[in-house]
Amino acid sequence: MLQATSLPSTDSENELVHWAIGIVRRQFVVIALIAVIVTSLGALYALLAPPTYTAEATVVIDPRRVQLFPKATFSEGQIDASALESEIELIKSEPVALSVVKDLHLAGDPEFSGPQGVFGAVLGLASHFFPSSKPTAPSGPEKIGAALGVLSKNLAVKRVGSSYNLSIQYRSGTPNRAAQIANAIAEAYIAEQLEGKYASTKRAALWLQGRIDELNQKQVSAERAVVDFKKKNNIIVADGKLVNELQIAELNSQLVAAHKHTSDVKARLDRIDAVILDDSLDKKTGPTVTDTLNNPVITTLRTKYLDVVNREANYTRKYGPNHLAVINLREQIRDLRGSILEELKRTREGFLSDYEIAKQEEQDLEKRLADAISRSQPINQAQVPLRDLESSAQTQRAIYDNFVQRYAESLQQQSFPISDARILTSASPPSSKSGPKTALILVMAAAGGLVLGVAVGTLRDSMNGSFCSRDQVESALQLACLSIVPSVKGAKHQTLKDARRPAPDSELGDGSSSRSILRNKDIVWTAIDSPFCWFAEALRSIKVAIDQHSGAVGAGKVIGFTSSLPQEGKSTIAASLALLMAQAGARVILVDCDLRNPSLSRRFAPKAEHGVLDVIVRSVPLEDAVWSDPSTNMAFLPGSTKTRIVANSSEMLAAAAITELFENLRSNYDYVIVDLSPLMPVVDARVTTRFVDRYICVTEWGRTKIGAVKYAFEDASNIYENLLGVVLNKANIDQLSTYAPIGRNYYNNKYYTQYGMTQ
């Protein structure tokens, strides 16, 4: 369902702006009233609120603080954003606040025990004029609780940028008090932090002491198990190593040395054997090995041998190879070589003896090593559980020593705890007040009042839900809006001197004899008395629509006027349009078919004795029931006036006789204007489709709900199918422009006065 002030479904920024301006104009009084009220309340608050002063102290959480003890009982994490938030909560915690309350005796301070702010000022003023006969004194805990509440309310703690500095701000009624409490909170925070560290260290020391006793017992038990296992398995340890392992290692070393010695002796023996067997070795100097160089006999023989060889060579060059001296020298050389060879053989016997001895020693060491290894196998098998026992004992010893060290450190820290924070700057009494900020309060109150007023105005406007523009009619009902009829104040319309002829004497009487319509100051005569007014022009728009959609002029058109609810002005529009058509020279008859409520009959012919019902039942001819207006020649057929309520009105309108009646009227008149009953209260209008050509629905502008009109047409679909259009009646010209772009400007256009247009 389309709401009256729903956001326009358009991409045009101009229409969006117009929609917003329209809401402001329509709800200007509400918006202005709420804005004034809220602004006044803000001004009253600024006037009554006592002045406050804010002092600021700064503490720093120093991550590079001096450590007197290099190792802490518990590891301290890095200071991050979460840690700083925890410190902020600690500053605002109840233990810190309670410490300040007790140190400064705030429970007895009137600033902390009485009502605060504007409420306190108003209450104090009221108590001054209306003193209580039996004042109730609060108890001690209540005073402390009230002081804690005031202290927490006026305290603000925040981080300074991205640093480790924390700003402690306190707001009070006096500058000195604000600075005093801010400094007290900073000191209480540091004291609370030290107390917390002391308590934590004390609890850690007690826990460590219990753990040390327990670990000592475990460590002693583990070491005793190692000793018992060694004794049971005959495991002897020297210098941290097993004796059998040391013995095997020693025998192994000796065996390696014996292997090396045997190899050396065997190599010398093999060498000397090779020298003895090879006669071609060193024919000039004689065979030798390294060890023979240390043999004095061989050394002497080599010396002689070399000397004889040299002499033999000299003599050979000097006397020739066949000289007797040379031959003698050669014999000496052979003898010397034989002597050297014999000495080498004796040396070989020595080498052979050494080799046998070394080999025997090597075999003896191998036996001893094998015996030692066989004896150590049971001990080696016991090494696996022994290592487990020793590892467990070492672990228990390390844990015990670590806990003993931590316990000693905790005792040191307990005697001298170190705080993570220190006071960077102390608070000083502020020189100017921090609140209330009068200008800011007034601006915020005015802005808040304006926003609230616009919200309330928009809500009120959206809850209207009625037709206020042509677009709404065409969008919601899929029907044309024939005209927007402005609201006319009765008996105050402008009258043209030449537009109204003098009424006859019968017109001034009761009208019963001549059946002339009673002329009075009713609004229906506005279009006749002021033919150039907005009201008359709107009626002409309806006539144009009738002529365009109902055939040529003079075809005898039967137009029915109805509405969804009573009091929407359908009868006034029907009568005014009929008078306007008649004044223009058309043959017009106005028929009052609202048999349940014949309002036109009471207005035009209050003393009529006959009407539509009489004509239908043929008790009276049509000519005797028709009334007329002498000034316009408009004919009027009243309804039933004698009987106030006609129970079977729908049956009467559905009778064949009324169809014959309207066929007669159609042939004698250019326009037959029928005033029908509303659609929702009664069903009379639904049975008139047999004699009514087209219908016009009159809806009250800005009042009749869209849902009501839709509901009425859903129950009267036959009326909706023959509906010519909708007329918005009683439109407020001053507010019309807030719903439609043209609106009031359409009626107030200065150029319209050139055509005689008036209000």
Q: 1-5, 109-113, 577-581 — which one is most confidently predicted on average?
A: 577-581
DSSP 517: P
* pLDDT tens digits for range 311-322: 888 888 888 888
Whether 74 shows a pLDDT value over 80: the answer reads no
Report which of 678, 674, 667 is spatially closest to residue 636, judged by C-alpha positions.
674
The token pair that represents 192 in the structure block: 């609370």
Instruction: Indicate the pairing of strand 53-61 with strand 165-172.
Output: antiparallel
The token pair that represents 488 in the structure block: 């006319």
Whether 595 shows a pLDDT value over 90: the answer reads no
369 and 428 share a domain?
no
Q: How many domains is the chain partitioned into structurally?
A: 3
Cα–Cα distance measured from residue 130 to residue 144, given in angstroms and rounded to the nearest whole number: 27
Predicted confidence band of residue 269 (pLDDT cuts 50, 70, 90): confident
Predicted confidence band of residue 741 (pLDDT cuts 50, 70, 90): low
Cα–Cα distance measured from residue 501 to residue 497, given in angstroms and rounded to the nearest whole number: 9
Residue 188 lies in a domain: yes
Predicted confidence band of residue 11 (pLDDT cuts 50, 70, 90): low
DSSP E strands in 399-519: the ranges are: 421-425, 481-486
Cα–Cα distance measured from residue 553 to residue 292, given in angstroms and rounded to the nearest whole number: 165
Residue 280 lies in a domain: yes
Nearest 5°: the CA angle 563, 568, 574 is 70
CB neighbour list of residue 192: distance below 8 Å, 6 or more residues apart: 90, 93, 95, 96, 99
Give the max Cα distance, the chain. Answer: 212
Cα–Cα distance measured from residue 14 to residue 12, given in angstroms and rounded to the nearest whole number: 5
CB neighbour list of residue 693: distance below 8 Å, 6 or more residues apart: 550, 557, 558, 559, 722
| 579 touches 524 (CB < 8 A) | yes
> Quick one: pLDDT at residue 290?
58
The distance from CA 362 to its chain's CA centroid, rounded to whole angstroms, is 90
Average pLDDT over residues 679-708: 90
Supply φ then ψ for residue 290, to 5 degrees.
Answer: -65, -45
| 748 touches 502 (CB < 8 A) | no
Instruction: Classify residue 97 as left (phi > 0), alpha (psi -120 to 50) or beta.
Output: alpha
> Quick one: pLDDT at residue 270?
80
Whether 358 shows a pLDDT value over 50: the answer reads yes
Predicted confidence band of residue 242 (pLDDT cuts 50, 70, 90): low
Q: 163-172, 467-476, 633-642 — which one is most confidently predicted on average?
A: 163-172
Whether 574 shows a pLDDT value over 90: the answer reads yes
Residue 584 lies in a domain: yes
| 1 touches 706 (CB < 8 A) | yes
Whether 414 shows a pLDDT value over 60: the answer reads no
Predicted confidence band of residue 750 (pLDDT cuts 50, 70, 90): low
Count the neighbouring beta carbons within 10 Å of the beta carbon of residue 611: 27
Whether 264 shows a pLDDT value over 60: the answer reads yes
Percent with pLDDT over 90 in the chain: 16
Whether 544 shows a pLDDT value over 80: the answer reads yes
Average pLDDT over residues 150-155: 90
Report which of 520, 531, 534 is spatially closest to residue 490, judged by C-alpha positions.
520
Whether 493 shows a pLDDT value over 90: the answer reads no
Domain containing 153 equals: 13-202+418-439
108 and 257 share a domain?
no
The token pair that represents 17 in the structure block: 């702006």
> Quick one: pLDDT at residue 59?
92
Residue 209 lies in a domain: no
537 and 642 share a domain?
yes
* pLDDT tens digits for range 111-120: 887 665 555 5
Whether 495 shows a pLDDT value over 50: the answer reads no
Count the neighbouring beta carbons within 10 Å of the beta carbon of residue 215: 20
Whether 618 shows a pLDDT value over 80: the answer reads yes
Which residues lie across from 54 on neighbouring strands?
Answer: 171
592 vs 470, which has greater pLDDT? 592
Cα–Cα distance measured from residue 584 to residue 578, given in angstroms and rounded to the nearest whole number: 10
Predicted confidence band of residue 506 (pLDDT cuts 50, 70, 90): very low
Whether 721 shows a pLDDT value over 60: the answer reads yes
> Quick one: pLDDT at residue 572?
93
On the question of a cis peptide bond just before residue 8, with omega within 30 degrees of 0, the verdict is no
Report which of 714, 645, 650 is spatially closest to residue 684, judged by C-alpha positions.
650
> Quick one: pLDDT at residue 509?
38
Cα–Cα distance measured from residue 429 to residue 176, given in angstroms and rounded to the nearest whole number: 5
Count the neighbouring beta carbons within 10 Å of the beta carbon of residue 234: 11
> Quick one: pLDDT at residue 361?
85
Predicted confidence band of residue 697 (pLDDT cuts 50, 70, 90): very high
Cα–Cα distance measured from residue 100 to residue 57, given in angstroms and rounded to the nearest whole number: 15
> Quick one: pLDDT at residue 646?
67
372 and 427 share a domain?
no
Predicted confidence band of residue 194 (pLDDT cuts 50, 70, 90): confident
| 53 touches 433 (CB < 8 A) | yes
710 and 750 share a domain?
yes
The DSSP element (H or E) to which 646 belongs, if any, is none
Residue 498 lies in a domain: no
Whether 129 shows a pLDDT value over 50: the answer reads yes
* pLDDT tens digits for range 85-102: 888 998 989 999 898 988
Residue 693 lies in a domain: yes
For every residue of 601-630, DSSP letters joined together read: HHHH-TT----HHHHHTTSS-HHHH-EE-T
Instruction: Indicate the pairing of strand 557-562 with strand 694-700.
Output: parallel
105 and 254 share a domain?
no
- Quick check: helix, strand or coil at residue 590? strand
Whether 725 shows a pLDDT value over 80: the answer reads yes
467 vs 654, which has greater pLDDT? 654
Whether 695 shows a pLDDT value over 90: the answer reads yes
Cα–Cα distance measured from residue 665 to residue 270, given in angstroms and rounded to the nearest whole number: 164
> Quick one: pLDDT at residue 570?
92
- Quick check: helix, strand or coil at residue 158? strand
Predicted confidence band of residue 7 (pLDDT cuts 50, 70, 90): very low
CB neighbour list of residue 125: distance below 8 Å, 6 or more residues apart: none
Report which of 165, 22, 74 is spatially closest to residue 732, judged by C-alpha positions.
22
Supply φ then ψ for residue 202, to 5 degrees.
Answer: -65, -45
601 and 689 share a domain?
yes
Average pLDDT over residues 637-661: 79
Report which of 56, 55, 76 is spatially closest to residue 64, judged by C-alpha positions.
76
Predicted confidence band of residue 434 (pLDDT cuts 50, 70, 90): confident
The CATH code of the domain that includes 610 is 3.40.50.300
Residue 91 lies in a domain: yes
The chain-wide mean pLDDT, for the chain, equals: 78
Whether 78 shows a pLDDT value over 80: the answer reads no
Supply φ then ψ for residue 677, to 5 degrees.
Answer: -75, 160
The distance from CA 647 to its chain's CA centroid, rounded to whole angstroms, is 65
* HSE value, Cβ hemisphere, 13 Å, CA-based, for 212: 14
685 and 729 share a domain?
yes
Whether 76 shows a pLDDT value over 60: the answer reads no
Average pLDDT over residues 271-278: 76
Q: 269-283, 452-466, 525-539 — which one is most confidently predicted on average?
A: 525-539
The token pair that represents 370 in the structure block: 């094998």
Residue 751 lies in a domain: yes
Whether 623 shows a pLDDT value over 80: the answer reads yes
355 and 480 share a domain?
no
Which residues lie across from 558 on neighbouring strands?
Answer: 672
Strand order in the sheet with 723-731: 481-486, 723-731, 694-700, 557-562, 671-675, 588-592, 635-637, 627-628
| 225 touches 409 (CB < 8 A) | no
Average pLDDT over residues 712-727: 90
> Quick one: pLDDT at residue 1?
38
655 and 710 share a domain?
yes
Supply φ then ψ for residue 53, to 5 degrees.
Answer: -125, 140
667 and 731 share a domain?
yes
Long-range contacts at 606-609 (CB < 8 A, ≥ 24 apart) = 606/518, 606/641, 607/510, 607/511, 607/512, 608/512, 608/515, 608/638, 608/641, 609/512, 609/641, 609/642
> Quick one: pLDDT at residue 628?
92
41 and 125 share a domain?
yes
The token pair that represents 349 in the structure block: 């016997």
Whether 591 shows a pLDDT value over 90: the answer reads yes
Give me the residue label for tokens 């190879």: 321
Predicted confidence band of residue 606 (pLDDT cuts 50, 70, 90): confident
CB neighbour list of residue 239: distance below 8 Å, 6 or more residues apart: none
